[in-house]
Amino acid sequence: MEAVQVIRDDGQPGTVVKRLATAGEGLQLLVAFADGSRVVGPEEMLIAQPDGTYHSGLNQTAMVNQVATELVGDEPLVVPVVA
C-alpha cells in the first residue's frame, strides 16, 4: 500500500509514505500531502478510485478534528517553529 496516490477532498495530492504498527489499533498509514500536511489513519480511510488513485475518505476539517481528538491523551504535542 506504500507509494500509492491519495487525493484529499480539497484536491490536494498525497502519497502513502509508510505503514505504522500501533498498539491496539493495528496497522495505520502515514499519508504525506503536497502542502506539507501529514495524517495517520487506518487503511480503511482510503477509498479506491477507478483511475488507480485513492480518496482520503475524510475532508480536511474532519482530519484536523480527528488529529485534535487523538491528541487529547497524554501524548506530548510537538509544534515545529521556523525562525
Q: What's the pLDDT score for residue 65?
A: 55
Which of 39 and 23 is assigned the larger pLDDT? 39
Q: Specify the pLDDT at position 37.
A: 85
**Torsion from C-alpha of 3, 6, 12, 18, nearest 10 degrees:** -40
The DSSP-derived string for 21-69 is EETTTEEEEEEEETTS-EEEEEGGG-EE-TTS-EE-SS-HHHHHHHHHH
The DSSP 8-state label assigned to residue 74 in this structure reads S
pLDDT tens digits, 28-81: 888 898 988 888 888 888 899 999 999 987 666 555 555 555 555 566 666 667
Are the CB atoms for 6 and 31 separated by under 8 Å?
yes
Distance CA 69, CA 72 (A): 6
The structure's pTM equals 0.65
